[in-house]
A and B are shown apart, each in its own frame.
Chain A
Amino acid sequence: RKEVEQDPGPFNVPEGATVAFNCTYSNSASQSFFWYRQDCRKEPKLLMSVYSSGNEDGRFTAQLNRASQYISLLIRDSKLSDSATYLCVVNESGNQFYFGTGTSLTVIP
Chain B
Amino acid sequence: EAQVTQNPRYLITVTGKKLTVTCSQNMNHEYMSWYRQDPGLGLRQIYYSMNVEVTDKGDVPEGYKVSRKEKRNFPLILESPSPNQTSLYFCASSLIGQSYEQYFGPGTRLTVT
Interface residues of A (CB under 8 A from B): 4, 32, 34, 41-46, 49, 87, 91, 94-102
Contact = CB atoms under 8 A, between A and B. Distances in A.
Contacts of A41: 88, 107
28 contacts: A32-B98, A32-B99, A32-B100, A34-B100, A34-B101, A41-B88, A42-B106, A42-B107, A43-B104, A43-B105, A43-B106, A44-B90, A44-B104, A45-B104, A46-B102, A87-B42, A91-B100, A94-B96, A95-B31, A95-B50, A96-B48, A96-B58, A97-B45, A98-B45, A99-B35, A99-B42, A99-B43, A101-B41
A21 B69 CA distance: 40
The secondary-structure label for the interface of chain A is strand
B101 A46 contact: yes
Contacts of A46: 101-102
A97 B33 contact: yes
Interface residues of B, number: 26
Contacts of A98: 45, 59
A85 B90 CA distance: 16
B65 interface: no
B66 to A, nearest CB: 14
B68 interface: no
Interface in B14-48: 31, 33, 35, 40-45, 48
